[in-house]
């Protein structure tokens, strides 16, 4: 993976590490198989992405539409396999992910963090939490861990940050404690009910977001317009 990130650096790719690997670097998760990145969606940066991947011998993975501006701006995911000595690396790329604002604003909020693959730009915790409000139930445990990390920063958290933490902690005991810091008394069972209802809303919202994109992928597949799995990225740039 170091080779992949070095290729990104050489090309000048504007990107942020997101999802599982970002959660691992923050100490909120212990393991993630894939690499997920968010790239600036302009055409020049997409060209940098393709050059970087081609230099690493990457190939297209399944269910990937063409990387033109229509599909980039529509919020699709793009999937690649990069060969490595220890086994293939799976890379998922988004340019316009859901629930967060523009890339450049997120880049200003990002942190540069040391990793086993070099110093990497990692999406900020608040943005990472928004990205992980998905249909996957396991993401809500990670989100709760991210909230703890964010509120354990050396500086005294503001009331606004504590309110954010209370809204985004999906452990009832943690939510009770955070609400108490705001002078609000609530017991565990009502918090559990609130959390269950909130998770159901977030899951439904994420399902609605992906419904139209999955339908478009099906249309593209039926029309033979998806990029063939196994295609070398060098053939795309």
- Report, as ranges of residue numbers, the positions in the chain whose pLDDT lies below 50: none
Residue for token pair 């880049």: 107
Name beta bridge partners: 118: 115
The count of other CB atoms within 10 Å of the CB of residue 179 is 18
DSSP 116-133: TTEEEEE--HHHHHHHT-
Instruction: Say how far apart CA 93 and CA 126 lie, in whole Å.
Output: 20
In the three-class reduction of DSSP (H, G, I as helix; E, B as strand; rest coil), residue 74 is classed as coil
Q: Whats the size of the chain, residue-wise?
A: 237
The count of other CB atoms within 10 Å of the CB of residue 126 is 17
In the chain the domains, ranked by start, together with CATH numbers, are 1-124 (3.30.460.40), 132-225 (no CATH)
Q: pLDDT for 193-205, tens place per residue?
A: 999 999 999 999 9
Nearest to 170 by CA among 209, 215, 200: 200
Strand order of the β-sheet with 59-60 is 59-60, 77-82, 89-94, 35-39, 15-18, 118-122, 111-115
Instruction: Say how far apart CA 224 and CA 222 lie, in whole Å.
Output: 5
Helices vs. strands in the chain: H and E counts, helices first? 10, 7
Instruction: Say how far apart CA 237 and CA 45 lie, in whole Å.
Output: 12
Q: pLDDT for 15-44, tens place per residue?
A: 999 999 999 999 998 877 889 999 999 999
């Amino acid at each position: 993976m170091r080779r992949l990130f070095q290729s990104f650096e050489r090309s000048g790719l504007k990107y942020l590490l997101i999802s599982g690997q970002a959660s691992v670097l923050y100490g909120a998760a212990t393991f993630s198989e894939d690499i997920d990145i968010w790239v600036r969606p302009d055409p020049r940066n997409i060209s940098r992405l393709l050059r970087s991947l081609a230099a690493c011998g990457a190939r297209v993975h399944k269910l990937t539409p063409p990387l033109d501006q229509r599909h980039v701006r529509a919020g699709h995911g793009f999937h690649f396999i990069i060969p490595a000595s220890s086994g293939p690396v799976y890379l998922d790329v988004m340019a316009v992910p859901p629930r967060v604002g523009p890339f450049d604003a997120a880049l200003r909020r990002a942190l540069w963090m040391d990793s086993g693959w070099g110093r990497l730009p990692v999406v900020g915790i608040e943005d990472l939490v928004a990205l992980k409000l998905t249909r996957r139930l396991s993401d809500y445990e990670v989100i709760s861990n991210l909230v703890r990390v964010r509120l354990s920063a050396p500086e005294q958290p503001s009331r606004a940050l504590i309110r954010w933490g209370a809204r985004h902690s999906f452990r009832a005991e943690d939510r009770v404690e955070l609400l108490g810091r705001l002078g609000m008394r609530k017991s565990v069972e009502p918090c559990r009910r609130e959390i269950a209802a909130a998770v159901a809303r977030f899951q439904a919202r994420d399902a609605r977001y992906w419904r139209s994109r999955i339908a478009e992928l099906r249309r593209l597949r039926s029309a033979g317009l998806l990029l063939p799995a196994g295609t070398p990225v060098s053939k795309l740039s």
